Amino acid sequence: MECPRCVLEEGAAGPYRSSGGRVGAHPPLVAETHPSGAALRRCAQCGGAFFDHGALQRVESWSRDHGGRAPDALAMWSRAYQVAREKSEPIACPACGDETITREWAFSSLVMIDVCLGCRGVWLDGGELESLFGVG
C-alpha cells in the first residue's frame, strides 16, 4: 500500500515530496497500531494515515474514554483549515484504488477526511488524526 498524497520528485522537498527514492513513486505506508488497538497504515513522509472501515470509530471511542482532546482549539482549527486548503483533488484509495470523496469529519469540526466509495476506508492527512482526537 502506498501514500496517495506523496510523490517522490528529484530535488523537491516539502510535506508531500521528497528528494530520495524512485522519482514518480509513492512512498509505502507502514503498518502500526494506535493506542486504541486500531490498526492503521501511516506515511513516514507526510504523516498521513489510512484506516480500514470502522477502525476510526474505535479510535474516537477510545479517545473519548481516555481524555484525548486537542489542548488548543484555535491551533487545531488553524492546522485543520490549512490542511483542507492544500487538498486540491480527490485521491485514489490506498487499499483498493477506488475514488475517494472529501467530507467533513463531523459538523463544524473543520477536518476534511477522504472516504473511499468502494471499501469505505478513511484517509487522514498529516495532523488530522491529532486535530480530531488530540492523540496520535
* 121 in Cβ contact with 113 (< 8 Å): no
Look at residue 29 and tell me whether its pLDDT is greater than 60. Answer: yes
Q: Which cell numbers hold the place of 7?
A: 510523490
Count of alpha carbons within 13 Å of 116, Cβ hemisphere only? Answer: 20
d(CA 106, CA 12): 34
Instruction: Please state the domain extents for the chain.
Output: 30-133
Residue pLDDT, tens place only, 47-56 = 999 999 999 8
Residue pLDDT, tens place only, 95-136 = 999 999 988 887 776 778 899 999 999 999 888 887 777 655
Q: Per-residue pLDDT averaged across 20-48, rounded?
A: 85
- The torsion region of residue 54 among left (phi > 0), alpha (psi -120 to 50) and beta comes to left
Nearest one of 34, 45, 28 to 130, comparing CA atoms: 34
Residue 58, SS3 per DSSP? helix
Residue pLDDT, tens place only, 37-96 = 999 999 988 899 999 999 988 988 888 887 655 445 555 556 656 666 666 677 899 999
Q: Which residue has the higher pLDDT, 126 or 32?
A: 32
